[in-house]
A and B are shown apart, each in its own frame.
Chain A
Amino acid sequence: MKRVGLLAAIPEGSRERLMELGREVSFPVDARIFEEGSRADRFWLIRTGTVNLDIHVPGRRAAVVETLGEGRLLGWSWLCPPHQWHLGAEAASPVRAWEFSAAEVLALCARDHELDHALLTYVVEVIGRRLRAARTRLLDLYGPYGSGSDQ
């Protein structure tokens, strides 16, 4: 796997120790990877394919709010309480990924402070980037001029 995203952000020794905890998994297209509200006890690094993040809308099919592709981190809810997924995830195409157990990674972080810092910094960056993207989309930039207002 080429070193992009999280793997590029972690120092070499820590990266090797982290990767020892990873296991290769694959998901066929349309497979549900996790459900909104369920326990967040693992995360994935996407090697190939794309994953849709969605929100449950009562009475309708789940609404897709973001697509994650190669090299992206899938899941950060495992890192902070209440350790529940706040979105659902579904494979939009065949996906290959590294899967990590949150408990194992957190135990490793307790011993490896360099990894702990790099991982936390990376996840905060990811959350920040996704927050900026969500705010940008709230502006409805591609809508007609004045859309979103009552003008």
Chain B
Amino acid sequence: MTAVPLPYRVVGNRAETTDTRTVELLPVGDGALPAFRPGQFAMLYAFGVGEIPVSVAGLRDGVLTHTIRGVGAVSRALCAVRPGAHVGVRGPFGTGWDLATAAGRDLLVVAGGIGLAPLRPLVQAVVSMPHRHGRLNVLIGARTPEDLLYRDELEGWARPYCGVTVDRAGTDWRGQVGVVTTLLDQATFTPHDTTAFVCGPEVMIRATARELLHRGVPARHIRVSLERNMHCATGHCGHCQLGPLLLCRDGPVVGYDRAQPLLAVREL
């Protein structure tokens, strides 16, 4: 972890949707950052524009991959970087999904919208080590079929089930329509022996966790990725405080046994 951004070279930039791109980065020279783990995030610096936190969306072959939605000045600048350009990177920051502690258990991955990006390296790790865990179920909710990320990869994630549902469908959509929790009926898992990984808007996280608790998945085995306004990423500035937690340091991934009471407080 560094306090000063290290220069990384853009080696890839492809469109995922109309407003979302996946950017691939390699360190310049010998100055690579320590290895990231799935669920952690980097602070990406668009030179001359600013810095934002972005979760890692891929970690293969030493390439640092981020999927970025262009919604503000910095994210739009990062979406626009061309191969060969440089960006600044700090990290790795935060807790990861901690896949090792889910060894031997069924896995439920539940993603909403851009929340699929931080879960992608976790799914890739599970798929590459199929005997280390039980059944893998990936449940994805998206706004429309056109907003679906990584569509070429989804078929390979069905171990045994990868389902997609959308909020709004066009006439050519042959898949499901509805909220992501409706896909739970099609997943096969043993609740008390399941670890769930959930990322998406907070309302979706709460609804999913409530449904998982109802089905018997223990709160401590429901891991959720929370988002607050991260600024320093080193636990000093307090921008990302959620009750007793500084999410850049104590999160973003938190067990639902810790997150549930905090998310119930209106002012937090």
Contacts and interface: CB of A to CB of B under 8 A. Distances in A.
Q: Which label, helix, strand, loop or mixed, suits the secondary structure of the A interface?
A: loop
Contacts of B181: 133
A138 B204 CA distance: 13
Given A143-B143, A144-B19, A64 B173 contact: yes
Contacts of B203: 136, 139, 141
A137 B182 CA distance: 13
Contact size class for B?
20 to 34
Contact of A67 (B142, B168, B182, B204): B182
Interface string A112-151: 0000000000000000000011001101111111000000
Contacts, number: 64
B65 to A, nearest CB: 21
B171 A142 contact: no
A140 B165 contact: no
Contacts of B147: 142
A72 B200 CA distance: 26
Most buried by A among B112, B143, B207: B143
A78 B201 CA distance: 36
16 contacts: A52-B177, A64-B169, A64-B173, A66-B177, A66-B178, A67-B175, A69-B185, A92-B176, A132-B207, A133-B178, A133-B179, A133-B181, A139-B203, A141-B113, A143-B143, A144-B19
Interface of B: 19, 69, 71, 112-114, 141-143, 147, 165, 167-169, 171, 173-179, 181-182, 185-186, 200-201, 203-204, 207
